[in-house]
Amino acid sequence: MQNAPLVQQGQPITWQRMALTAAGVAGAVVVIDGFLNRETRDGLSTGEQALLHDTFKYTGGGLVLTALAARSMFKSGLAFRIMSANPWLVLGVSLVGSIGTMMGTFYTPPEKTVQKHLLWLGFNACQAATLSPLFLFSPAILSRAALYTVGIVGSLSYVGATAKNDTFLNLGGPLLAGVTVVALASLAPMALPLGVRSLAVTEALSLYGGLAVFGGFVLYDTQKILHHARLSEQGLMKADAINESIGLELDMINIFIRLVQILAMQGNNRK
């Protein structure tokens, strides 16, 4: 048992299949969006374009920093110490660190550039510490999950940005309820003695239900960015791309984690 690998290796990566799959998903979403939203909104205003562009710039930068930091933590052996620690301790520390730095970023005005960026970097460092154990999975699985995540988020963001109205802004309440159910399903095996069937149900709810919920959050957050941009143009609030990027970054991280788990399960089932 001591010689058994911690994580089984996935199937060799096929870049052609990955590219075709991602293109098929993106194309299907564009076609569906064109059918459902034939009468789209007018072109985005300058303020909407600027905030959307800056938000995705910070989202991409935050994800790159998180990935690099997580890789460094993995190489240093921190991932193994995190895996062997008390799950409740890891959960508590990661939650406190992530929520603390996130709220600090939210409540720091854009004028305090240095303080805001330091808190934003701290938030990404907390995310990196939580994600570093994922590097125990094979590079093929991580690469496929990353590509699928980019395709899903890019397609859903396009749908949200081109929708003919702000319908997705009304999803805030249902999505909050959904993420609560997903969180409880994820924590249930740690706190309750469950049978095999119950474990399978909670796992499916956490993985596939989580994919649906955080996909919905991508739509919601994209339209929220445009809504905030319009309020900023009217002088009712200040545009803050860093605050907007945190929501999208959390959406992408949660989608990525679930895709990694699903792909790893599929790879194990083929063996």
pTM of the full structure: 0.79
What span, in angstroms and rounded, lies between the C-alpha atoms of 179 and 247?
Answer: 14
Helices (H), 133-209: 139-162, 172-191, 196-204
Look at residue 82 in the predicted model and tell me its pLDDT. Answer: 66
Concatenating the DSSP letter of every residue in 90-140 gives HHHHHHHHHHHHHHHHHHS-TT-HHHHHHHHHHHHHHHHHHHGGGGGS-HH
What span, in angstroms and rounded, lies between the C-alpha atoms of 101 and 32?
Answer: 38
Averages of pLDDT over each 10 residues, the chain, 271 residues: 40 48 50 46 78 94 93 81 66 81 94 94 91 88 92 90 81 85 74 64 82 92 93 91 94 94 79 58
DSSP, collapsed to helix, strand or coil, labels residue 145 as helix
Concatenating the DSSP letter of every residue in 65-93 gives HHHHHHHHHHHTTHHHHHHHS-HHHHHHH
CB atoms within 10 A of CB 70: 23
Cβ 22 vs Cβ 144: under 8 Å? no
Look at residue 177 in the predicted model and tell me its pLDDT. Answer: 87
The residues, ordered by sequence, that sit 6+ positions from 207 with a Cβ below 8 Å of its Cβ are 258, 261, 262
Reference 168, options 160, 158, 176; nearest CA is 160
Look at residue 232 in the predicted model and tell me its pLDDT. Answer: 92
Cβ 240 vs Cβ 125: under 8 Å? no
Look at residue 255 in the predicted model and tell me its pLDDT. Answer: 94
DSSP, collapsed to helix, strand or coil, labels residue 163 as coil
What span, in angstroms and rounded, lies between the C-alpha atoms of 244 and 120?
Answer: 12
